[in-house]
Amino acid sequence: MPPKLADRLSAARRRRFVGRDAERELFASALQSADLPFNLLFIFGPGGVGKTTLLTEFHRLCNDSSTPVALLDGRNIEPSPDPFTASLSLALNLPPTSPPHERLASRKHIIILDTFELLAPLDNWLRDTFLPSLPEHTLTVVASRNPPSTAWRSDPGWQDFLRILPLRNLAPHESRAYLSQHNIPDDQIQAVLNFTHGHPLALSLVADEFAQRPGPARAFQPEASPDVIKALLERFVQKVPGPAHRAALEACALVRLTTEPLLAQMLGAPDAHELFEWLRELSFVELSPEGLFPHDLAREALAADVRWRNPDWYAELHKRARGYYITHIQQSPGPAQQRLMFDYVFLHRDSPVVRPFVDWQTSGGMLADSLRDSDIPAITEMVLRHEGEDSAQIASHWMNRQPQGIIVLRDSERRPAGFAAMVSLSLIDPSDREADSAARSVWAHLQRHAPLRSGETATLFRFWMGRDTYQTVSPAQSIVFINAVLHYLTTPGLVFTFFPCAEPEFWAPMFAYADLARLPDADFEVGGRRYGMYGHNWRAVPPMQWLALLAEREIAPGAEAAPHPSAAESIVVLSEPDFAAAVRDALRDYTQPSALQSNPLVQSRLTVEAAGANAGRAERAAALQKLIQSAAESLQSSPREMKLYRALRHTYSSPPKRKSRPPNCSTCPSAPIAAISNPASTA
């Protein structure tokens, strides 16, 4: 029978694996012992140190000794008990609905968990429930970037059954063996060792860099840089096969996950298959079920390099990725939409403003879901603990009045781990405003600045919090923000959104970046606690214009997020009666620009567009004068309306001299006012 490809792959991996003798001996001794010396081997170390490579070697040792082994990767598992046990059953060649314990009970088994840091929500469940339920002849091997939590190390039960193994750089003799395996010339190995200090990712980058060199090998000349990965990547990028490969590598570094269609759009190529496959083979590019991604250290260095070297190309790559995400967000269902939205927000990760305010592990295992009756006690208790009795009563009010606006964030055990309450202000009535001071304050703000018309709506994000983290930076807060952006982009007729904060000063940099204006007149108090309000006027800056504004900030992260002109003073859209009154007052004050500055029409869209977005009130008042004059003069084109023009001119524009203007304009001619009062065109 001819040898299988799997056999040849295994042999190649065995030849290429070097070092880690102590780690291999420790694991091999556990395989050979009749009674396991420990039941949990916890390996930890920084990114790029070789944890996955070591686990692959452990997997091979299991196969060589005919020991059943199940290999799982945290990147491919939803961090909750049921998906975890289903994945383990599949790895043991069982149906996903079959409990894995029956198979494990028969003989010694090894369970290997890679990328354990992504399974952090399962930490307590694994320690206290799942692992203790396994047969005593089961050995679990965990690899994580983080050391085991204090709960593992302080548990007197686990202390006798846990072995902690920190993974370090390769020793000099191991590094020499690795480089020799990759055909690095002997006379250049010492220079490479002096530069990499045995860091496995750095060694693999050197090997890739040599492999990309055309012609005879040239001397390795390390750059004088303390950042090994950055320096190596800069050298590597200069040696890629061609410009298209370089562009593909740069595109891969800027997005969270690279798929073939996304790569094709970012490169403007109809077919990116060959480039995608090339990326796939690079030693510092990893695979997930959703796409490719470079090692974190490699990503940072590549992104920094392209941004510094070619800022125009950096901006263009961002623009093309944005276009891809926006198109697919609009076409995708709920869960996929949320993931794409996170990918979109990931484009902003280089901003020093955004980076501290987003948990970049996507969701920490949390899932956004709708409200169920069984959630109400847990959510009420959550609000009671963080905000007090009065707020808890208000939360109960909105769960009863608008349950469709509640987003529940569920943890790995499907319990509420946080929530957000989105109140539709177009659906509230006086009793709602009476029950909630926040609704009362934002409703008053709407009436002053953006009264709702038929078919329009506004949203108050009345509550948002994590069960344990409240409104601090956390996976719960990040999921809430992601869903808020989805709401902005997908809600028809959205006029205004309001976002209250218990600590408004803390969120000021992030909200300024996102063009949410501070609205002190909408602040409110509940239970003796003051909450600060932020908001965005979507009439003033519609979603597409808002995305363009954020795009400018996205590619210029060093710049301060100055408030958008509309954020400082929102455009006002008046109701028809208020608009007519404002026109009447503007006509009365036409010859007195200082008085016109206080007229609400200076904040109308037409006036702002005429004066310019950055114009002050004096310039807007002057623009309003010109608009009134233009509207009045347009009446001259019709003989029927000429008399109205003359009435306006003699009453307002060139009135007879008098000692003072009339105190009450109710006696002013109304027909000319009606002739130039057109809310639809001026507001």
Q: So what's the pLDDT on residue 614?
A: 61
- Lowest-pLDDT range, 130-134, 221-225, 623-627? 221-225
- Lowest-pLDDT range, 446-450, 494-498, 560-564? 560-564
Q: So what's the pLDDT on residue 573?
A: 55
Whether 671 has a pLDDT exceeding 60, the answer reads: no
Residue ranges of the domains in the chain? Answer: 5-168, 240-347, 367-568, 576-682
pLDDT, tens only, 267-276: 999 999 999 9
**H helix intervals, 495-641:** 504-513, 543-554, 565-568, 576-588, 593-596, 605-611, 617-633
- Mean pLDDT over 58-84 rounds to 89
Q: So what's the pLDDT on residue 413?
A: 77
Distance, in Å, from the CA atom of 70 to the CA atom of 89, rounded to the nearest integer, reads 9
For residues 212, 217, 223, 228, the Cα torsion angle rounded to the nearest 10 degrees is 50
Provide CB contacts within 8 A for 429, sequence distance 6+: none
Whether 659 has a pLDDT exceeding 50, the answer reads: no
Higher pLDDT, 13 or 552: 552
Q: Are 109 and 68 in contact (CB under 8 A)?
A: yes
Exposure letters 609-634 (e unless 16+ CB within 10 A, then b): ebbeeebebebbbbbbbebbeebbee
Higher pLDDT, 195 or 159: 159
Neighbours of 608 (CB within 10 A): 21
Distance, in Å, from the CA atom of 351 to the CA atom of 357, rounded to the nearest integer, reads 10
Q: 662: pLDDT confidence band, cut at 50, 70 and 90?
A: very low
CA distances, 190 to each of 130, 184, 209, 219, 226 (Å): 48, 10, 16, 11, 17
Q: Are 91 and 70 in contact (CB under 8 A)?
A: yes
Higher pLDDT, 3 or 319: 319
Q: 37: pLDDT confidence band, cut at 50, 70 and 90?
A: very high
CA distances, 557 to each of 25, 152, 193, 463, 654 (Å): 48, 40, 36, 30, 53
Q: Are 369 and 410 in contact (CB under 8 A)?
A: yes
pLDDT, tens only, 152-171: 988 889 988 999 998 888 88
Whether 606 has a pLDDT exceeding 90, the answer reads: no
Q: Are 126 and 26 in contact (CB under 8 A)?
A: no
**H helix intervals, 43-171:** 51-64, 81-91, 101-104, 123-125, 150-154
Question: In terms of Cα–Cα distance, which of 677, 504, 671 is closest to 575?
Answer: 677
Question: In terms of Cα–Cα distance, which of 243, 531, 258 is closest to 383?
Answer: 531
Distance, in Å, from the CA atom of 367 to the CA atom of 651, rounded to the nearest integer, reads 65
CATH topology for 367-568?
Aminopeptidase (3.40.630)
Exposure letters 452-468 (e unless 16+ CB within 10 A, then b): beeebbbbbbbbbbbbe
Whether 428 has a pLDDT exceeding 90, the answer reads: yes
Angle, helices 5-16 vs 51-64, to 10°: value is 120
Distance, in Å, from the CA atom of 9 to the CA atom of 60, rounded to the nearest integer, reads 11
Q: What percent of the chain has pLDDT over 70?
A: 82
- Mean pLDDT over 336-365 rounds to 75
Neighbours of 671 (CB within 10 A): 11
CA distances, 506 to each of 460, 472, 509, 512, 532 (Å): 20, 9, 8, 11, 11
Q: Are 295 and 259 in contact (CB under 8 A)?
A: no
Distance, in Å, from the CA atom of 214 to the CA atom of 153, rounded to the nearest integer, reads 52
Provide CB contacts within 8 A for 608, sequence distance 6+: 571, 615, 620
3-state SS, residue 464: strand
Phi-psi region of 199 (alpha: psi -120 to 50; beta: other; left: phi over 0): beta
Distance, in Å, from the CA atom of 625 to the CA atom of 587, rounded to the nearest integer, reads 9
3-state SS, residue 307: helix
Number of helical (H) and strand (E) elements in the chain, helices listed first: 32, 15
Exposure letters 191-203 (e unless 16+ CB within 10 A, then b): ebbebbebbbbbb
Q: Which two tokens stand for residue 459?
A: 């949203």
- Lowest-pLDDT range, 57-71, 124-138, 278-292, 410-424? 278-292
Distance, in Å, from the CA atom of 393 to the CA atom of 401, rounded to the nearest integer, reads 12
DSSP tag of 170? P
Whether 91 has a pLDDT exceeding 70, the answer reads: yes
> Class of 5-168 per CATH?
alpha beta
Q: What percent of the chain has pLDDT over 90?
A: 37
Residue 409, amino acid: L
With tokens 């703000």, the residue in question is: 445
DSSP tag of 455? T
Higher pLDDT, 225 or 135: 135
Distance, in Å, from the CA atom of 550 to the CA atom of 542, rounded to the nearest integer, reads 12
Distance, in Å, from the CA atom of 587 to the CA atom of 658, rounded to the nearest integer, reads 16
Q: 567: pLDDT confidence band, cut at 50, 70 and 90?
A: very low
- 39 phi and psi angles, rounded to 5 deg: -110, -10
- Mean pLDDT over 643-667 rounds to 57
- Lowest-pLDDT range, 14-23, 111-120, 382-391? 14-23
CA distances, 278 to each of 37, 257, 343, 563 (Å): 43, 16, 23, 43
pLDDT, tens only, 198-247: 888 788 877 877 776 655 655 665 543 335 556 666 656 666 888 999 99
Q: So what's the pLDDT on residue 673?
A: 46
CATH topology for 240-347?
Arc Repressor Mutant, subunit A (1.10.10)
Are domains 5-168 and 367-568 of this chain identical in fold? no
Q: So what's the pLDDT on residue 597?
A: 78
Distance, in Å, from the CA atom of 213 to the CA atom of 185, rounded to the nearest integer, reads 13
Higher pLDDT, 279 or 590: 279
Question: In terms of Cα–Cα distance, which of 134, 81, 91 is closest to 114?
Answer: 91
Which is it for the CA torsion 256, 297, 286, 22, positive or negative? negative
3-state SS, residue 287: strand
- Mean pLDDT over 674-679 rounds to 47
Q: So what's the pLDDT on residue 353?
A: 80
- Mean pLDDT over 248-257 rounds to 93
408 bridge partner residues? 369, 419
pTM beyond 0.75: no
Q: What is the mean pLDDT of the chain?
A: 82
pLDDT, tens only, 471-492: 998 888 888 998 899 899 889 9
Q: So what's the pLDDT on residue 96?
A: 72
With tokens 């690899």, the residue in question is: 143
For residues 98, 99, 105, 107, the Cα torsion angle rounded to the nearest 10 degrees is 60
Distance spanning both ends of the chain, measured CA to CA: 82
pLDDT, tens only, 299-322: 877 887 888 888 899 999 999 999
Q: So what's the pLDDT on residue 225?
A: 38
532 bridge partner residues? 501
Q: Which two tokens stand for residue 408?
A: 């529940």
Q: So what's the pLDDT on residue 463?
A: 97
Q: So what's the pLDDT on residue 586?
A: 83
Q: So what's the pLDDT on residue 342?
A: 82
**H helix intervals, 239-375:** 243-254, 260-267, 273-281, 296-309, 311-331, 334-346
- What is the 3 state secondary structure string of 389-408? HHHHHHHHHHHHHCHHHEEE
- Lowest-pLDDT range, 122-131, 152-161, 650-659? 650-659
Q: So what's the pLDDT on residue 171?
A: 84
